[in-house]
């Protein structure tokens, strides 16, 4: 059992906001400290009975600071031993839940992502070891690795991935509402079947943090509280890079007050977050606005979050795309878009490591961190699905396009660049 303090978090109003009229609640974290040492700010499991962190009304705003998704275990060093030895059961420290006055089951909670910023100007990406976490390309990259990023305003650079500068695509990897007891029971029922095969993570009370819960209540709740790793019907760990600043998200409400929590803030991420050890992970602050649509779930037939993507993200004008099909090791994987995407990622890593000074592990970490676009082509052209991954060429110091064309570069100009004829 874990004893937790029931201290009030630091909710001092943001001075800058106060000076322009409205007093906006600002929940602060202590960067570098694990959630267990500041349990008043949130939780790292999902359960309907977690007491509210604070309360807002429709029309209110709030600023919530969040710890990085690995709970301050990754340090600004040149060793990847912290990634290799990480305790994954401490993911994800979430800030919340925020109670929204008037929200009832069946409503839609409207959340506007008004702004996101870093709390400390350092981020990380990594590769989990095969024995502890793994990732999408684990059979090709079984060893732990790490890249520390310097977050410079709207750009990130890394001494561990030189020759690259990545533009900001700020978004929450994880944001969701509290499940009802019925929904939690359903998650546990269906995931237990997979957990027996090692394909899902069952409840793990040892490292659970449930703000404001102690004693017998903690024991009861922690034994059934859901891990935060998978996305589910309430949102959760969606890892959608296009939930950038300016997005509006409509969440199903499953409990009175909705109970919104978030964490795992990303400076940027590639589609698929392929290494699993993150995007560009950071301690961050999210400025949120709230509204409600009464009875919205039935009115609009919504049972999972829907959203309008934000527009305050980096926009690149030239891409190099790599294709993959669902054929691996001489076997057709029938219309398997996941295999096709894996082949596209491996093709990108082979190519980019050949035209830059980067090693393959460095490129793997770049593809999880930079705002690369993943797309499915056909998922009907049996037997093969097709997928592509597109890399913004402008993130590199060097020109990564294929060179030495026989007819010369001048015949049609550079592809993707419009020529003005005078
Ligand atoms: Zn993340």
Q: Are 252 and 178 in contact (CB under 8 A)?
A: no
> If you measure from the C-alpha of residue 92 to the centroid of ligand 1, how many angstroms do you get, rounded to a whole number?
9
Whether domain 319-395 has CATH 3.10.28: the reply is: yes
| Listed residue (292, 397, 390) closest to 341, CA to CA | 390
Which phi and psi angles does 81 have, rounded to 5°?
-65, -30
| Listed residue (220, 293, 290) closest to 262, CA to CA | 290
> If you measure from the C-alpha of residue 18 to the centroid of ligand 1, how many angstroms do you get, rounded to a whole number?
31
> If you measure from the C-alpha of residue 265 to the centroid of ligand 1, how many angstroms do you get, rounded to a whole number?
6
> If you measure from the C-alpha of residue 419 to the centroid of ligand 1, how many angstroms do you get, rounded to a whole number?
40
**Confidence (pLDDT) at 159:** 98
> If you measure from the C-alpha of residue 272 to the centroid of ligand 1, how many angstroms do you get, rounded to a whole number?
11
> If you measure from the C-alpha of residue 409 to the centroid of ligand 1, how many angstroms do you get, rounded to a whole number?
41
> If you measure from the C-alpha of residue 415 to the centroid of ligand 1, how many angstroms do you get, rounded to a whole number?
34
Q: Average pLDDT of 60-87?
A: 98
> If you measure from the C-alpha of residue 378 to the centroid of ligand 1, how many angstroms do you get, rounded to a whole number?
29
6-10, 90-94, 219-223, 284-288: the lowest-pLDDT one: 6-10
> If you measure from the C-alpha of residue 93 to the centroid of ligand 1, how many angstroms do you get, rounded to a whole number?
11
Q: Look over the chain and give the mean of its residue pLDDT values, rounded to a whole number.
A: 93
| Listed residue (26, 28, 100, 68) closest to 173, CA to CA | 68
| Listed residue (53, 57, 73) closest to 9, CA to CA | 53
Distance between CA atoms of 120 and 117, rounded to whole angstroms?
9
**pLDDT tens digit string along 277-332?**
989 999 999 999 999 999 999 999 999 999 999 999 999 999 999 999 999 999 99
> If you measure from the C-alpha of residue 153 to the centroid of ligand 1, how many angstroms do you get, rounded to a whole number?
19
385-408 per-residue burial string, b: 16 or more CB within 10 A, e: under 16: bbbbbbbbbebbeeebeeeeeeee
> Looking at the predicted structure, is the pLDDT value of residue 138 above 50?
yes
Residue that wins the pLDDT comparison between 10 and 68? 68
Domain spanning 4-308, CATH architecture? Sandwich (2.60)
Strands 61-66 and 25-27: parallel
> Looking at the predicted structure, is the pLDDT value of residue 76 above 60?
yes
- Exposed (0-12), middle (13-18) or buried (19+): which is 113, by Cβ within 10 Å? buried
Distance between CA atoms of 269 and 214, rounded to whole angstroms?
36
Two tokens, residue 414: 């550079």
- What residue spans of 259-404 are helical by DSSP H? 296-299, 337-355, 360-369
Distance between CA atoms of 204 and 9, rounded to whole angstroms?
25
**Confidence (pLDDT) at 405:** 84
CATH 3.10.28 residue spans of the chain: 319-395
Distance between CA atoms of 193 and 200, rounded to whole angstroms?
8
Q: Is the pTM of this model over 0.85?
A: yes
pLDDT above 90 as % of the chain: 89
What one-character-per-residue DSSP string does 382-409 give?
A: TT--EEEEEEEGGGBSS--S----TT-T
Q: Are 270 and 171 in contact (CB under 8 A)?
A: no
> If you measure from the C-alpha of residue 168 to the centroid of ligand 1, how many angstroms do you get, rounded to a whole number?
15
Determine the Cα angle at 98 with ends 38 and 293, to 5°: 165
> Looking at the predicted structure, is the pLDDT value of residue 140 above 70?
yes
**pLDDT tens digit string along 103-136?**
999 999 999 999 999 999 999 999 999 999 999 9
- What residue spans of 283-359 are helical by DSSP H? 296-299, 337-355
> If you measure from the C-alpha of residue 277 to the centroid of ligand 1, how many angstroms do you get, rounded to a whole number?
7
> If you measure from the C-alpha of residue 351 to the centroid of ligand 1, how many angstroms do you get, rounded to a whole number?
26
17-31, 191-205, 345-359, 386-400: the lowest-pLDDT one: 17-31
> If you measure from the C-alpha of residue 243 to the centroid of ligand 1, how many angstroms do you get, rounded to a whole number?
13
Of the pLDDT bands very low, low, confident and very high (cuts 50, 70, 90), residue 84 is: very high
What one-character-per-residue DSSP string does 366-385 give?
A: HHHHS-PEEEE--SSSTT--
> If you measure from the C-alpha of residue 44 to the centroid of ligand 1, how many angstroms do you get, rounded to a whole number?
14
Distance between CA atoms of 313 and 392, rounded to whole angstroms?
13
Q: Are 232 and 176 in contact (CB under 8 A)?
A: yes
Kind plus residue range of the DSSP H or E element containing 307:
strand 306-308
> If you measure from the C-alpha of residue 379 to the centroid of ligand 1, how many angstroms do you get, rounded to a whole number?
28
235-244, 301-310, 368-377, 403-412: the lowest-pLDDT one: 403-412
> If you measure from the C-alpha of residue 79 to the centroid of ligand 1, how many angstroms do you get, rounded to a whole number?
20
235 Cβ contact list (under 8 Å, min separation 6): 174, 175, 176, 177, 249, 251, 304, 305
**Confidence (pLDDT) at 16:** 45
**Confidence (pLDDT) at 407:** 78
- CB under 5 Å of ion ligand 1: residues: 69, 173, 264, 278-279
């Amino acid at each position: 059992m874990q004893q937790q303090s029931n201290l009030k978090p630091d909710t001092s109003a943001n001075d800058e906001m106060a000076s322009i009229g409205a007093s906006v609640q600002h929940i602060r974290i202590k960067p570098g400290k694990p959630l267990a040492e500041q349990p008043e700010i949130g939780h790292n499991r999902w359960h309907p009975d977690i007491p509210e962190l604070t309360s807002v009304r429709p029309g209110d705003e709030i600023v919530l600071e969040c710890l990085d998704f690995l709970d301050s275990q990754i340090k600004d060093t040149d060793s990847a031993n912290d990634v290799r030895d990480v305790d994954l059961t401490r993911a994800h420290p979430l800030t919340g839940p925020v109670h929204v006055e008037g929200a009832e089951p069946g409503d839609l909670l409207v959340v506007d992502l008004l702004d996101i910023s870093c709390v400390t100007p350092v981020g990380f990406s990594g590769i989990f070891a095969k024995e502890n976490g793994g990732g999408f390309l684990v059979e090709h990259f079984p060893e732990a690795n790490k890249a520390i990023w310097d977050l410079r305003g709207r750009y990130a650079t890394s001494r561990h991935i030189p020759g690259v500068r990545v533009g900001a695509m700020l978004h929450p990897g994880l944001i969701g509402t509290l499940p009802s007891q019925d929904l939690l029971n359903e998650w546990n029922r269906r995931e237990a079947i997979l957990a027996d095969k090692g394909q899902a993570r069952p409840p793990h009370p040892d490292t659970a943090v449930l703000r404001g819960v102690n004693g017998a209540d903690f024991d009861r709740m922690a034994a059934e509280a859901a891990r935060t790793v998978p996305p589910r019907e309430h949102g959760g760990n969606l890892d959608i890079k296009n939930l950038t600043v300016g997005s509006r998200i409509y969440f199903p409400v499953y409990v009175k007050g909705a109970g919104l929590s978030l964490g795992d803030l990303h400076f940027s991420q590639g589609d698929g977050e392929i290494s699993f050890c993150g995007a560009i992970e950071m301690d961050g602050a999210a400025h949120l606005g709230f509204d409600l649509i009464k009875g919205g779930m039935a009115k609009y037939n919504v049972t999972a979050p829907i959203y309008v993507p934000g527009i305050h993200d980096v926009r690149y004008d030239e891409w190099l795309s790599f294709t993959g099909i669902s054929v691996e090791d001489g076997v057709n994987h029938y219309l398997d878009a996941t295999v096709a995407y894996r082949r596209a990622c491996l093709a990108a890593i082979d190519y980019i490591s050949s035209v830059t000074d980067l090693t393959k592990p460095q490129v793997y970490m770049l593809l999880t961190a930079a705002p690369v676009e993943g797309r499915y082509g056909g998922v009907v052209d049996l037997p093969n699905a097709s997928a592509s991954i597109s890399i913004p060429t402008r993130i590199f110091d060097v020109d990564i396009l294929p060179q030495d064309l026989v007819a010369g570069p001048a015949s049609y100009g550079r592809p993707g660049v419009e020529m003005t004829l005078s």
